[in-house]
Amino acid sequence: MPEIKNPNQGGGGNSSNTSFLIMMVVMLGVFAGLQYFRSKKTQPLQSPTAQTQTTPQLNNAAPQSGPTGSTAAFNANAVQQPAVSAAVTPTIAATAEQTTTVENDLYRITFSNRGAEVRSWVVKKFKDRYGAPLDLVNAAAAKQFGYPLSLYTYDKTMTDGLRTALYVPTDTTGHLTAPAELKFHLQQGGVEVSKTFRFDRTYVVRGETSVLRNGVPVRSLLSWPAGFGDQDQVLDYNGSRIETMRSGKAEHTEFKKVSGGSTLDGPLNYAGTSDGYFAAMFLPEDPASATAVTLHNTIDVQKLARAGSDKGKVTGKPIDVPVVGVALGDTGGTTQTRIYAGPKSVDVLKTIPLTGTNDTLEPVVDFGFWGPIAKFLFWLLNSIHDHIASNWGWAIVVLTVLLNVVMLPFRYQTMRSGLKMQRIQPQMDAIKARYAKYKVTDPKRADMNGEIMQLQKDNGVNMFGGCIPTLLTFPLLFAMLGMLPKVVELREAHWFWLHDLTAADPYHILPITMVLSQFLVQFYMPAPGVDPQQQKMMAFMMPVFSGYITWNYSSGLALYWCVGNLLMIAAQYGMNQTKEGREMREIAAKRARRKVGAPQAKTIQGKR
């Protein structure tokens, strides 16, 4: 919650105006950048029906027809081995495509034996924006760039062959309940492929893959190539990033800096891709020999919309958005890795250990520059939710009250510091008047500053006493700004008319309340004698500024800020009724009456 400067505090003047204006310009610049990207979210990518359409062959590599169901021949140049005729009858290959569904209490994964890939990965505890079960597979992007758990090699033709071949699965029932194991096997044209997946009751899947050509290992990698299924707006894609940890150091690479086809050599503790709320991470069993490839493609928003239910209604230039992914393998040829595909929940990620270290997957959740403060605030918010308020909206309200109670002594100390400053203000003005004839660059000015500082010291005035609440409040605000829109626990969390605390208030009730409360601050707080220019800035810029920030941002942040603002009004009104508060108003009124030689400035008078 931003600190609203007490208008009764003496001083004013050009220096305070300039400092306040600089602060406002810097903050406005930061939030203007955020709102610029937020404004793009009005562009939908596709209808929910487009996510469930049947997926054709990838990369135009159509399977060859024949009684054996064989597909396009593997590239003989994939490894340095003599060429093998594509006409060789496959030893092991399926004759028709079939699917196998594996599920537990957390997910329902549907595999196809074509490519031994995942066609659907539904997380049961989450819904998409349309209320349907959330599928982590981005169907539209996967059609173009590959499905999850497909194999990636450094030869496109061989990669296409591995993704279009019909593997033989061990399951014949079409449905498995975890704990379970699912194997796929293919032997065709001198190439032998084995893919094994083991499932338990958590979000983690264990995978083991190997590719041999004429008995020689081929460097193949298990991949998640094409984003997530909750990315159906431009803003969602722009939140994509690559997550890695090397030698215990976590790295977050934004989509703009991801280079497609780049190889990351080990040691790798984990590598994967994430968006705002979900992640697909590979955790290799042997970090030292692990290797990864970053994937970066683009997808046309307009083309997707035209292909969906909005066909004929979408016009305009192509809008390309980024689709990033990761493939991970082992330099030894056989890849053994755990795969986490699920929410970026701190409580879940910190239970998943990394091989060979004491670290967990928790660093995948990144709260930005103010991360340590944000983590503490989220821990506090989570504790309130678990033990006091079971509703996340009410948990935010309780957290706001708690923080304001903690801040109250500092605000009271600020008022006392301001009162001391006002008491010696006439003496300070007299000192400044004696040195007014000297230029700013004159050494005599140093003597003036020395006298003022000595005067303040003699009267117990701490010139930084009024800065403490601001120094504490702004880090809290920016930490909340980085935390509330990113925690998956608040996704789809309800509070009265708010159906998602990570999304903007659909009716803008909170932003409007914020603007009105800022005006109430100026109305109920007495302000005689305050510099008119500063008072005008406070009276109009702060309400507009706060309303602009919260208009299209997380409603959880708007709730925190708005409740905090109302609490601060009540606290300041109470402090104004104390002995110090009354004396402060009296001194300010006397200073205003002493002004001569200039018209009395109009000020906003507060209720007494």
- pLDDT of 542 reads 76
Report the alpha-carbon distance of residue 187 to residue 207 in Å, rounded.
19
Query: Looking at the DSSP assignment, which residues form a beta bridge with residue 109?
Result: 102, 121
Q: For strands 262-265 and 270-274, give the pairing.
A: unpaired
Contact 452, 427 (CB under 8 A): no
Q: In the CATH scheme, what architecture does the domain 90-354 have?
A: Distorted Sandwich (2.70)
Query: H/E element holding 589?
Result: helix 579-594
Torsion (CA) 22, 25, 28, 30 in degrees, nearest 10: -80
pLDDT mean for each 10 residues of the chain (608 residues): 40 44 58 51 40 35 34 41 45 92 98 97 93 93 95 94 96 95 95 97 97 93 94 83 94 93 93 96 96 93 56 60 94 95 96 93 93 94 95 97 90 78 82 86 85 84 67 85 90 94 93 86 53 64 82 91 89 81 76 57 44
Q: Domain spans of the chain? A: 90-354
The sign of the torsion formed by the CA atoms of 378, 384, 390, 392 equals negative
**Burial 341-375, CB ≥16 within 10 A → b, else e:** bbbbbbebbeebebbeeebbbbbbbbbeebeebbb
Report the alpha-carbon distance of residue 319 to residue 303 in Å, rounded.
9
Give the side-chain half-sphere CA count within 13 A for 19: 7
Phi then psi for 394, rounded to 5 degrees? -70, -30
- pLDDT of 515 reads 87
- pLDDT of 7 reads 37
The DSSP letter of residue 80 is: T
Token pair recorded at residue 192: 């032998």
Report the alpha-carbon distance of residue 330 to residue 218 in Å, rounded.
10
- pLDDT of 32 reads 56
Task: Give me the sheet containing 175-177, strands edge to edge.
Answer: 133-135, 117-127, 107-112, 99-103, 175-177
Burial of 327 (0-12, 13-18, 19+ CB in 10 A): buried
Contact 221, 328 (CB under 8 A): yes
- pLDDT of 447 reads 85
First to last CA, the chain: 25
Report the alpha-carbon distance of residue 334 to residue 200 in Å, rounded.
22
Burial of 379 (0-12, 13-18, 19+ CB in 10 A): exposed
Report the alpha-carbon distance of residue 246 to residue 135 in Å, rounded.
30
Q: How far is CA 253 from CA 245, 257, 274, 484, in A?
A: 11, 6, 10, 21
**Burial 489-506, CB ≥16 within 10 A → b, else e:** bbbbbebeebebbbbbbe
| Cis previous bond, 485, omega within 30 | no
Give percent helix, percent strand, percent coil of the chain, each to the nearest 5.
40, 20, 35
| Cis previous bond, 267, omega within 30 | yes
Query: What is the pTM for the complete model shown?
Result: 0.78
- Residue partners of 21: CB distance under 8 A and separation at least 6: 537
- pLDDT of 125 reads 95
